[in-house]
Amino acid sequence: MKYLLAACLLLVSSFCCATPSQDEAQALREFHDTLWLVSESDPRLLQLNADFRELVKATGVTLPLKLEVTSTPLIGHSFPGGVIVVQVDLASLPRAQRMLVLGHELGHQVLGHFASAFAFLDNNSQLFTNQAAEDNPAWRTFLHQQEYDADAYAVHCLHLLGLPLADAVPIFEVYADADESLTHPATKARIARMRQLN
């Protein structure tokens, strides 16, 4: 849990600076290095790598990407530079649920969410002069929209793979927070939006 908290704090703090400093970039690398990577011979890793290759092929994405499988509490997360991290237990879930998570994280990369977040902050620095990021409605709205957009990309991925959204949605019951947070909309709102796209 401490690593999950560290990740949240680090990512929020790094998004609150227009350009990450060397110290922040180092802190992000150090957090990344604390992830408990799974053995390359683990069949769950092999399953998730196969899923990811299938997804990338189906979408035609040509970005440099790297999937890392860990035993940390993070079910799925993206890092700058095309790194996608997923939790090893994802492999035990039904295919549609695996692909929804992988498609969502791929969406963050394809849609350029790290670059657009830093651009937003560059262009709106006045919003943060007297207000903490977590209290800033414009920043919250921006981050929520990124999550909705990544969800929409994940639904697109399911369509490409011929997988029904109804088979994927149950993952929210296990892993998603019901209430909204600084970075994520409420689960019910996310599911409702995905169903509208279906």
Q: What is the pLDDT along the chain (198 residues), one digit of tens a residue?
A: 333 333 443 343 333 333 445 665 566 566 666 667 788 888 999 999 999 999 999 999 999 999 999 888 778 989 888 999 999 999 999 999 999 999 999 999 999 998 998 888 888 877 776 666 667 888 889 999 999 999 999 999 999 999 999 999 999 877 766 788 888 899 999 999 999 997
Label residue 1 exposed, middle or buried (CB < 10 Å: 0-12, 13-18, 19+). Answer: exposed
Q: pTM of this prediction?
A: 0.82
Neighbours of 141 (CB within 10 A): 11
What pLDDT does 16 receive? 36
- How high is the pLDDT of residue 58? 98
pLDDT tens-digit profile of 71-89?
887 789 898 889 999 999 9
Look at the chain and report how many structural domains it folds into: 1
Residue 19 CB-half CA count within 13 A:
2
**pLDDT, tens digit (0-9, with 9 covering 90-100), for 135-163:** 788 888 999 999 999 999 999 999 999 99
Q: Which amino acid is at 96?
A: A
pLDDT of the residue at 3? 37
155: tokens are 């639904």
pLDDT of residue 190: 93
From 3, 1, 18, 5, select the one nearest 117 (Cα to Cα). 18
Q: What is the pLDDT of residue 176?
A: 66
- Which residues span the domain enclosing 108? 2-197
Q: Return phi, psi of residue 77, to 5°.
A: -160, 150
Residue in the structure block whose two tokens are 């690593």: 3
